[in-house]
Structures are given as C-alpha cells and as structure tokens.
A and B are shown apart, each in its own frame.
Chain A
Amino acid sequence: MITQLTVHALVEQFRRGAATPSAAARAYLDRIAAVDPSVRAYITVTPERALAAAAAADARWRAGRPLSPIDGVPIAVKDLLCTKGVRTTCGSRILEHFVPPYDATVIERLEAAGTVLLGKTNMDEFAMGSSTEHSAFFATRNPWDLARVPGGSSGGSGAAVAADLAAAALGSDTGGSIRQPAAFTGTVGLKPTYGRVSRYGLVAFASSLDQIGPFAKDVIDAALVLRVIAGRDPLDSTSADVPAPDFVAELGRPIAGLRLGVPREYFVEGMDPEVEASVREAIEVLKRVGGRAEPISLPTTDYALAAYYLIAPAEASSNLARYDGVKYGSRVAGARDVIDMYSKTRARGFGPEVKRRIMLGTYALSAGYYAAYYGKAQKVRTLVRRDFDAAFARVDVIVAPTTPNLPFKHGEKEDPLAMYLNDVLTIPVNLAGLPGISVRCGFSLAGLPIGLQFIGRPFDEATLLRAAHAYEQATSWQTRRPPLP
C-alpha cells in the first residue's frame, strides 16, 4: 500500500515514475474516508485543495523538475497553524468558524516545497493537554488501541502518521506536545531548537516555549521535513539566523565514540517497568553501535514541571487575552456592556482546561504573587538550563524515556494535576529551548508503543538526528503496524 511508505520511499517512486503525487493523494484521501471515522485524527480534510496541489506536482515530476526532495508528499498539519482560506480552529469553540486571511510561514514553506496539504488535525484546545481529550470537538483515538489516547496536544498529527492517514505531519511542542504523542503513537516526533523554525502564523500558547516540528514514520523523513521548514523568517523576530545544514546528509555518519548521557533523574519513581526496561535495552543497543553511555545528573529536573506550570499559563493568560469577541471568533449576544461581553464570550468560548490555565497564569502574574510564583519560576528556568549546559560539557546527546508511562485510557486522567505529570520528562527541554526527538523503542506486552527521547545541544539537530537514526537502523521496531484495516 502506497500509504505505508515513508516519505523518502514515496519520493523515490515519484522519481522513478512508479507512482504519482495524485495517486498518493487519492490513496490517502480514500484511507482517511475509510479509517478516520474510527481514529478521528482530522478536524478538517481538504480534498479539493490536495488534489489540485498533487496534479501540479505530477507535472513537475513528469518534467523532472521537482521543487524539493519532498515535492508532492501528502502532509497533515495541526489545526493551530494558520492556513489561508482553510478553517483553523485550535480545537476551540471560540475559533470554530475562523478562516485565516494568511498562511503561517511553515505552510508557505511546505507549499513552496510542493507538498500536498491533506487537512488539519485534532488537538487539545489551544494546545493545552496531553491526551487530545480537551479538543472542543471530539477525542482522537490511539491507532494501537482505540480505547486509549494518542497523547497530546498534537494527538491528531501523531495518530494520522501512525495510522497511515498522512505521510508526515506538523505539530507544535510547548511542554512535550510533539514528543509525548509521538511516544504514544509510535511515531518519530521532533521538537527543534527554539528559534529553528518560524512561529509566524502559529496560534500562540506560550511564546517563549512554543516550537513547530514534524511527525514522521522514520528519522530520515523527520530530517527531510525539518530541512524545508527551518530557517530565519523576518516575520518572527525570535527565529534564529542559523544556517540549516543538510540534515539527511549528516545521518549517514556513524556514531562511534558519540558520548551519550543517561540522566538518573529521568528514571522516575513510579515509572512503568515496561517503559524502563525498553529504554534501558535501547541504551544497550546504542552502546553496541558505538555510543559511549555514561550516567549524568540533571538535578533541577524534579522542579521543572512546577516552574513550567507557572511560566506557560502566565504566557497563555496574556496571549489568550486577544480572544475578546471583537476581531474574530464567536461573540455572546445580549451583553450589558463591553466587559460583560468579553466575560460571557470567553466563558462560553473556552473549555475547562483553557480556563484553568488562564486563571492560574493570571493568578501567578497578579500583584502580590508575581515574585513568589512567576519570578521564582523564571529563576528555576535558569537552573534547568544550567543543568543541561553542564551535562553538554561532558556528553554530546542525552538519552532518556519520553514519558514515564504507556498510553492511558480515555477518561482515565480526570484530575488536572495527574494529566500534567505526564509531561515531567519533556518539559525541561522546552524550558531550556533545546531540540528533542522521540523514536519508537519497543512495545509493551499489550502491544502499546514506547518512546525513546534524545535531547541535543541548541541548534545541533544534526547530531540528535544522527543518534536517533543510528538507533532506528539497529532495530526493527519500525516494521510493526497498528491493528487497523
């Protein structure tokens, strides 16, 4: 089946004339129609747009002049990336009918590379959540076990790639929202260095933490997509003027002698023994292919989650002030005055988790609490970064679990704090602005995927991807497929 191919295998078929972008787009659209009613990865599917883009790609491949190494590849994007003329809901009632008048920079770059947009994927409302159950519309299901969550907040993108409903996808990661669903869906999920990819047109959650990155079927595919979306953008002043190397060309280099740090604090009390066993075994595999593993300590790890749950909600409370029922979004009618209109509109437009974060952030920033909460959290952030700086003086890449637990069942984590604790191993990376990737490293006895996380130095995605690729090449986990038609 053409929908099972990796991006690089699919493009090889385009090159040889064995398949066309139109055939690939049709196969994916047919599969979405057949399988997505049970997975529910997509909020919006864009068949006309996809087929038109694919037909244009057909002509380019026929002429032997593709726009890029991923020309004609069918891709899905998380529904918080603005797409001109295509509804962008952020998983929220308040943006249910919002049609952006412009494209996010990453969308422009994907289109300039010739890719085919299949549609917009489901997510926790405003990217706040770890299960995709906080979508205002519906919950997405894990393709490996439909009774379980795909992780979140980019659960739709992870599920789409795992279920062969897209060749690759984009998500966003503020505290783990790419890596955690990648672990839960057995896909490759890459969170680039803060500043590597432009955030222009990404609906903001926590601006100092948000970063866009790819979901893919393997590490080569993630590298191919990163190459296209990376780079400085004058429309995002935080995008870095750092050249993006040819990440794919770097992958072939062996990892002999690469120093791998194993942080003892990431093997937390209460973690699932099957997760721990798989990750320990993965480290042995990395040693067999030449990596030199050594224990390291990241002593502030235990405090990172608490700091994050002040910093991210504080930034969110400010960013989400824009949803006031004036310029876009829904508005509640019959208000007494403008303040009443704002308060009623926001009360009806936001779901419970978004309200909780806005309240927490407003509280942390309010007079009398600022120093004790927000100010303190910013100092802890410095300590988290210093931990990593000290570690990277000794090692080249850090290897750890992505999540302490296996995918959980729908409705299992009703308590907000229990849900937050899911991100304990992914959050430090966002606070420090580092690149991180999750790759499949095994399965539980019940057949649920397990994620291995690599963490790299700032702007050293090349080494990160090389280590992840070496691991992938040394194992055969990639061949297993979810139990779907």
Chain B
Amino acid sequence: MGGRIETREVEQVARLARLELSAEETQRMREQLDRILGYIDKLRRLDTEGVPPTSHAVPMVNVMREDEPRPCLPSQEMLANAPDRSGDFFRVPRIIED
C-alpha cells in the first residue's frame, strides 16, 4: 500500500490548513490519509458521467429578507472571549513588515 499521497503533499496541505505538524505527525498523517484515500478510491468504479453534482440536499434559491437594521450583540460581549485585546479591538501579532 502507499503512494497515493507523498510527504511533501502532506506538508503542503498542512501549510494551507494552518496546522503545524511535527515530523512524526506528518508521517503518521501520511500513512492514515493514504489508507483513507485508498478506501475512497472505490468511487472511481462508479460511473457518474452526466450526473449533476449536489451541494445541498434541499434545493434552495437565495433567501432574502428586508434590509432593516436590528440590534446586534454589544461589542464588549463579543470581545469577552478574545485571547488578546486592546481597547475595543482584537489584538494579533504584527502582520505587515516594517
């Protein structure tokens, strides 16, 4: 078994998913994903030529409402769970380089 997903692909997907994985975790993840993708490969045997995709079980068009203001949650309550804040703002590490 093996070869469906390579280590460098696992590393790339982890970067996209913003998940820091140790070298050991990366290897274990590669093996597990390989096995799961091996099972999923059975889908290839099913002919889906011309079948439309379903993204949602219930067919739905845009659901509209009147564009009316209504009270929103107080900012202090919304900030209460923040791990770091400054006044009325969420604080994050520096994003833009000098």
Contact = CB atoms under 8 A, between A and B. Distances in A.
Interface of A: 97-99, 101-102, 194-195, 208-209, 234, 237-238, 240, 300, 302-303, 306-307, 309-310, 317, 321, 324-331, 335-344, 346-347, 350, 355-356, 358-360, 362-363, 366, 373, 375-383, 385, 415-417, 420, 431-434, 458
Given A303-B42, A416-B32, A328 B55 contact: no
B18 A339 contact: yes
A13 to B, nearest CB: 39
A417 B41 CA distance: 13
B94 A337 contact: yes
A321 B18 CA distance: 8
Contacts of A337: 93-95
**6 A-B pairs closest in CB distance:** A433-B57, A378-B53, A328-B81, A331-B83, A379-B48, A237-B63
Contacts of A382: 51-54
B19 interface: yes
Given A237-B60, A338-B94, A373-B40, 16 more contacts: A101-B77, A194-B57, A208-B55, A208-B57, A238-B56, A238-B60, A306-B43, A317-B17, A326-B90, A340-B20, A362-B17, A363-B13, A377-B43, A380-B48, A383-B46, A416-B35
Contact of A329 (B33, B39, B83): B83
B74 to A, nearest CB: 8
Contacts of A195: 58
A100 B49 CA distance: 46
Contact of B83 (A194, A330, A358, A434): A330
A208 B60 CA distance: 12
A359 B54 contact: no
Nearest to A311: B55
A326 B54 CA distance: 34
Main secondary structure of the interface of A (DSSP, over half): helix
Contacts of A101: 73, 77-78, 80-81
Contacts of A347: 19-21
B33 A359 contact: yes
Interface residues of B, number: 48
A99 B13 contact: no
Interface of B: 5, 9-10, 13-21, 25, 29, 32-33, 35-36, 39-40, 42-43, 46, 48, 51-58, 60, 63, 65, 73, 77-78, 80-84, 90, 92-95
A415 B43 CA distance: 21
Nearest to B95: A338
A269 to B, nearest CB: 14
8 contacts: A99-B80, A329-B83, A337-B94, A343-B15, A355-B29, A356-B29, A359-B29, A363-B33
A179 B65 CA distance: 34
A132 B53 CA distance: 32
A338 B92 CA distance: 7
A433 B93 contact: no
Contacts of A458: 58
Given A208-B57, A379-B52, A363 B92 contact: no
A195 to B, nearest CB: 5
B35 to A, nearest CB: 6
B62 to A, nearest CB: 8
Contacts of A344: 20
Among A238, A336, A434, which residue has the most Cβ atoms of chain B within 10 A? A238
Contacts of B17: 317, 346, 358-359, 362
Contacts of B65: 234
A309 B36 contact: yes
B84 to A, nearest CB: 7
B93 A335 contact: yes
Contacts of B5: 363
Contacts of B10: 359
Contact of A307 (B19, B43, B63, B77): B43
Nearest to B77: A101
B18 A346 contact: yes
A351 to B, nearest CB: 12
A359 B13 CA distance: 6
Contacts of A324: 18
Given A359-B29, A362-B17, A432-B57, A306 B95 contact: no
A342 B53 contact: no
Given A358-B17, A359-B29, A329 B42 contact: no
B18 to A, nearest CB: 4
Contacts of B46: 300, 303, 380, 383
A98 B84 contact: no
A342 B43 contact: no
A376 B48 contact: yes
B18 A343 contact: yes
Nearest to A384: B54
Nearest to B40: A306
